Amino acid sequence: MTRPWLMVLVTSICASGTACSSSGMTSARDRILADTAADGSALDFDVTATHASSAVLPRYDPTATLSGTMISIGSSTTTNLVARVAAEFKQMYPDVQMQISASLTAAGLTALMDGGADIVPMSRSLAPEEISMFAASRGYPPTEIKVAADALAIFVHKSSPLQGLTLEQLHDIFSHAQHPGRNWIETWGQLGLEGEWKDRPIALYGYSADDGAYDTFQRKVLDGGSFRLTVKAERGGSSIVQDIAAEPGGIGYASIFFACNRIRAVPLMGIDGNLHHPTEEGVGEREYPLRRFLYICVDKPPHQALTGPAREFLRFLLSREGQQVVADGGNYSLDAATVEEGRRALGE
């Protein structure tokens, strides 16, 4: 049976959608309902301007020589990150052969257990049953290492005047179950939009059920419930943003990595009652409500250090230089404490 893998060539990497900027709206609480700016224009922000400095992170100390093979199989969002970092890594270690395939976390975990993969990029943490399955096979649990921070952004068409949303509103837009005392939201007028937007239906876009973004949204927005049957499920974030760019009435969720100039990210209300943009600052300060980590899973026996090209690759990724590649490519870098946690997990 053909496996749904997409090979990424580390010598020629193009991450479409990362060169564009995403834009959002004012963070005043009293403007959470849709409205335009005072002069009728959009209030934009540039997500690429918010990357934190990585100067406090440890520098990477290359080894004298390194050879061998590293095979990566996992989720598409984190595989994009791995491919970018691999291009830099390959320049330092030309004798290392790297095979990077975009698939599913479950497929990567199976390959890791069977010896067919060295690292598994993931856009979610492993489920308890996945950890149990691995432990039953190997005699110990897998090691999950955080390698980047991320914001699950809510995207709308660039022309939409929507100012912001609450998680409750998102629930009523996407959920199959109606919340007691609230109505489903099916038109933009129910969010306060006027004029040509008032009666325009809301078109829904999201991921298929086997993606980490689907899991995050389901847990944090739908309280574990089901999505509406009208959500058009796509296999990747790039397809979701392309759908929204072609449909002015569209709304969907995807990693901020997929932001482009034909759509924009809507700020969400946090627990402090203010609207927060999906920026690195909002994620790092834990104000943006749909924040998450990106992970790499490895097979590391307890009380032993990881070895081979996979270890060196992760050491580079968890360094000042590696995290700069993360930030430059459209993801968000880790704070020093999270980097140190990952380095300890490697057996440093």
Tens digits of per-residue pLDDT, 49-64? 334 445 689 999 999 8
The whole-angstrom separation of Cα 212 and Cα 257 is 14
Looking at the fold, whether 176 and 119 belong to one and the same domain comes out as no
Q: Which of 176-185, 195-204, 297-306 has the lowest mean pLDDT?
A: 176-185
pTM (two decimals)? 0.79
Cα-atom radius of gyration of the chain, to the nearest Å?
21
Query: Residues 130, 255, 128, CA angle at the centre, nearest 5°?
Result: 15
Percent of the chain surpassing pLDDT 70: 84
Looking at the fold, whether 85 and 24 belong to one and the same domain comes out as no
Select from 255, 276, 291 the last residue of a domain: 291
Report the CATH number that the domain containing residue 324 is assigned in CATH. Answer: 3.40.190.10
Looking at the fold, whether 230 and 336 belong to one and the same domain comes out as no
Phi/psi at 255 (nearest 5 deg)? Answer: -60, 145
Looking at the fold, whether 177 and 274 belong to one and the same domain comes out as yes
Please give the single-letter amino acid code of residue 260: C
Phi/psi at 128 (nearest 5 deg)? Answer: -55, -40
- Higher pLDDT among residues 2 and 228, named by residue: 228
Listing DSSP states for 22-39 in one string gives -------GGG-S----TT
Q: What is the pLDDT of residue 54?
A: 57
159 within domain boundaries: yes
The whole-angstrom separation of Cα 178 and Cα 253 is 20
133 within domain boundaries: yes
| Residue 134: partners with Cβ closer than 8 Å, 6 or more residues away | 109, 112, 113, 126, 141, 142
Highest mean pLDDT among 13-22, 126-135, 281-290, 323-332: 126-135
Mean pLDDT of 26-39: 28
Looking at the fold, whether 322 and 286 belong to one and the same domain comes out as no
Q: What is the pLDDT of residue 116?
A: 96
Report the number of distinct structural domains present in the chain: 2
Looking at the fold, whether 158 and 258 belong to one and the same domain comes out as yes
The whole-angstrom separation of Cα 241 and Cα 239 is 6
Token duo for residue 195 = 């004029």
Looking at the fold, whether 25 and 174 belong to one and the same domain comes out as yes
Looking at the fold, whether 312 and 286 belong to one and the same domain comes out as no
Structural domain span for residue 255: 15-49+151-291
Distance of CA 149 to the CA centre of its chain: 8
Tell me: pLDDT of 280 over 70: yes
Listing DSSP states for 208-266 in one string gives -TTSHHHHHHHHHTSTT-PBPTT-EEESSHHHHHHHHHH-TTEEEEEEGGG--TTEEEP
pLDDT, one tens digit per residue, over 234-263 is 988 999 999 999 999 999 999 999 999 999
Tell me: pLDDT of 43 over 70: no
pLDDT, one tens digit per residue, over 60-87 is 999 988 999 999 999 888 999 999 999 9
3 within domain boundaries: no
Looking at the fold, whether 330 and 266 belong to one and the same domain comes out as no
Contact 266, 154 (CB under 8 A): yes
Scanning the structure block, which residue is given the tokens 């190997």?
138
Tell me: pLDDT of 20 over 50: no
Token duo for residue 229 = 């049957």
Phi/psi at 30 (nearest 5 deg)? Answer: -75, 0
**In this structure, are strands 203-207 and 232-234 parallel, antiparallel, or unpaired?**
parallel
| Residue 226: partners with Cβ closer than 8 Å, 6 or more residues away | 175, 176, 177
